[in-house]
Structure 1
């Protein structure tokens, strides 16, 4: 559906979570500590470390790399899952530590907003934060599609098309803060960066931070975004550019925004745009345009606003008004990318005790509004698999089996959605004037049915407890 926000920055946070088993590590090789440039890329070694002195490492059982939506959701799902299993008190008695390390000085709250459908809200309810977010954001009742001259082509009501549908645009910063606030109060430590990752001879994974701190974990969960160093270390290729880019921003109306609670789309030739109310004072907008290459990165916010306005100068005036009321620091321009997880040829998302979640594994274009929703689904399913294996045995074999089970279950869900989102976006970016005329006068007004296009939002995850 609507283009949603995706961070392009390197996610290098570490979230250290509760686990119902303790590490038993007997390692002897000394690894010299050093001061490291905090911006160097992750290094890997061909041969695994066989031993370390215990004074040189901090031993943790579960490490989640990345404190974005996927990472914080996974952390919270694990935390909630343990509570449901009634083992939180046991963890405290065992003395298992919990900490969250983030590269920046605060949460990575850059970006605008993202669209959550009913499958995403089910997971947020399962984590206990759904109502806290609902109270802050407008529920979107329907969708209106217009041509670039302002002519209305079609309108839909979500609940008429999809039973029980719930659609809201949510500010990314608010979502992150809400998830983080549900974790233990002492869980987050900022200003950390992952510099190196490697396996040890005993099967654990060694993570080294930019300041020389070393962490040894039995389970590493990579939630470090579309440019994931963990995914690269596991053999995944870089996400592929799909041929179009997006401008995005949040218009601000201090005296109240004037729009009905609807998603508004405008279709042009090789160009489309949209806007949707987020809250009583904010409106999210996007412009998606064809480009043969991602182009240079532009950091001048005033230039970004100027370029966005030029693309839709002759389009409905309310779009230009929203852009004009957008603070410069909320406007972003990003190339759209995805990664197709072909069977057999794609690397495994679970290898030993390392597993990928969210954009780190399956970045997809935002044309179905499912990037964040799928990351939330990943989180609750992985937490359920891990909690079950740790409660029963906690042996490496049972943990590896749980991670593989997660991969198998989620692959069948995310790969088809990735392809579908790509195809929908490509069709909506048509440039041929004849095809665009057929789209506007036949396909959209007379053929398109919204219900089947929302069928994927009926997905239901197993509850945490």
Structure 2
């Protein structure tokens, strides 16, 4: 076990290869009610109070949270439309609590099944352990949510012209007390009092602030979405399967969609493959001989609904990592703390970030820079204590789950999971409370 732990640390501390997001090939919807904001005059930049960089989950949740407290923001999105790529993400009760505060929780709940438990099996189908949330983690709320639906729902609640598409950030420069100057690829410039960077794992703003690239952790993951247009009844449970150096799982999202994944060890991310047929075949080759339930879901998956992604994270070591805020600029979500999906907390923490940051800024936006920086400092301190332990824990859970040594795998399958695993402690991190978002001065 010590050897594996040391190996995991070496993976984390060595420089990371290029970590690219895979985009779906299906056509994305056109959001005609969002139009780019007109550029500034040639001699002066456009002035904005709050600029959000990136229209992903964190960026849209932040903009919507600001809207709920009566603050206008502009979201700069480098793409020409919403980034609806990705397959599915897990939202536990902390993510739903944040969505309730933002105001879209119930709309999303109506579209996705609530998961009632967890079944863990070996690759030959033998059941190792099963859990019931109601019995062992009362109050837990877990649903697998289609990323496209989440992004579109958040975007649909924003005022028109909030998102400025085709607005790729070219450079960023501090302008003293006036704010931060953002120059875009098209030559336009924006002078912002507050910049909230939500621009993903390869964030240019995070790089400008001194953060290094996230580090590859030694695993890649296939993700897919099985489609059942005529409907099929699945038990509302997460199904995990454990092998040597590999694990897989599937979970129903609705009566017509089932999400699945395969996580496997790889010394490097390998070449990027865009051929959807080759991706699906590679995924099938990994799990031939595994339980038929998994293979059936994969068979029901269109080729362009299969993605392959290398996993990476960033550990925010105290005293060594750069500050997440500086003079009116702050990074949140994956731009600050990318983590592996082993706890299902990446999107949940991004949503938490949005509501906590906006609650700290409530009442100081439009005020003195010192008050704004104090709010950003308080946000960073509070969130660091939350996300740093989760990042480490997610990484270690992944390392334990990806054991290759047959002795270690036997211990995991016959002792660790059946006799020692407990659901309650494994879900304590989903406890999260935050106050409602209301305009400053409201009762």
Deviation at 1:296, TM superposition (A): 0.9
Contact in 2 for aligned 1:222/1:357 (Cα 8 Å): yes
Distance in 1, matches of 2:330 and 2:175, equals: 16
Report runs of 4+ in structure 1 exceeding 6 Å deviation.
none
Deviation at 1:456, TM superposition (A): 0.6
Structure 1 SS opposite 2:241: strand
CA contact (8 A) 1:245 1:291 kept: yes
Match of 1:420 among 372, 393, 396: 393
- Structure-to-structure mapping, 1:310-349, within 5 angstroms: 310-349=285-324
- CA gap of 1:263–1:346, structure 2 versus 1, over 3 A, is same
**For 2:74 and 2:149, how far apart are their aligned partners in 1?**
21
Instruction: Give the match for residue 68 of structure 2.
Output: 80
Alpha carbons 1:7, 1:111 under 8 Å: kept: no
Q: Deviations over 1:176-205 (max 9, x none)?
A: 010011111332332221111111243511
TM-aligned CA deviation for residue 427 of structure 1: 0.3
Distance in 2 separating the partners of 1:235 and 1:452:
35
Q: 2:180 aligns with which of 205, 215, 221?
A: 205
Which residue number in structure 1 is paired with residue 32 of structure 2? none
Q: Which residue of 2 aligns with 1:258?
A: 233
| Equivalent runs, 1:6-45 vs 2, <5 Å | 8=21
- Structure 2: distance between partners of 1:257 and 1:295: 36
TM-score w.r.t. length of structure 1: 0.84
Q: 1: distance between equivalents of 2:393 and 2:191? A: 39
Q: CA deviation at 1:409?
A: 0.4
Which one of 262, 265, 274 corresponds to residue 299 of structure 1? 274
Asked if 1:439 corresponds to 2:427, the answer is: no
Deviation at 1:363, TM superposition (A): 0.3
Tell me how large the CA RMSD over aligned residues is: 1.8
User: Which residue is equivalent to 1:274?
Assistant: 249
What is the SS of the residue equivalent to 2:207? helix
- Structural mapping, 1:35-434, within 5 Å: 55-82=43-70, 98-390=73-365, 394-434=367-407
Q: Is this contact kept in 2: 1:8–1:226, CA < 8 A?
A: no
Bigger shift: 240-249 or 159-168? Answer: 159-168
Distance apart, 1:274 and its partner CA? 0.3
Q: Which runs of 5+ in 2 are unaligned?
A: 1-18, 24-39, 439-443
Cα distance in 2 for partners of 1:349, 1:269 equals 38
Cα distance in 1 for partners of 2:435, 2:316 equals 24
In the superposition, the TM-score normalised over structure 2's length comes to: 0.88
Following superposition, the deviation at residue 7 of structure 1 comes to: 7.5
1:320 shift after superposition: 1.2
Shift of 1:210: 1.1
Q: Is 1:264–1:274's contact at 8 Å kept on the other side of the alignment?
A: yes
* Deviating more after overlay: 360-369 vs 438-447: 438-447
Where in structure 1 are there 5+ consecutive unaligned residues? 1-5, 11-51, 83-87, 89-96
Task: Give the 3-state SS of the residue equivalent to 1:60 in structure 2.
Answer: strand
CA distance in 2, matches of 1:356, 1:64: 10
Deviations 1:145-202 (A, max 9, x none): 0110001111101122222110000000000010011111332332221111111243
Task: Give, in whole Å, the separation in 2 of the partners of 1:326 and 1:7.
Answer: 22
Distance in 1 of aligned mates of 2:236 and 2:20: 26
Counterpart of 1:462 in structure 2 is: 435
Measured in 2, the distance between the counterparts of 1:145 and 1:7 equals 30
Measured in 2, the distance between the counterparts of 1:280 and 1:329 equals 21
Contact 1:272 1:428 in 2 (8 A): yes
2:172 alignment partner, SS class: strand
Return the alpha-carbon distance in structure 1 between the equivalents of residues 73 and 315 of structure 2.
Answer: 35
Distance 2:174 2:306 in 1: 40
Residues in 2 aligned to 1:213 and 1:69: alpha-carbon distance in whole angstroms: 25
Q: How far does residue 53 in structure 1 lie from its aligned partner after superposition?
A: 8.7
Q: CA deviation at 1:9?
A: 6.7
Q: How many equivalent pairs are there?
A: 405
- 8 A contact 1:7–1:225 mirrored in 2: no
Alpha-carbon shift at residue 54 of structure 1 (Å)? 8.3
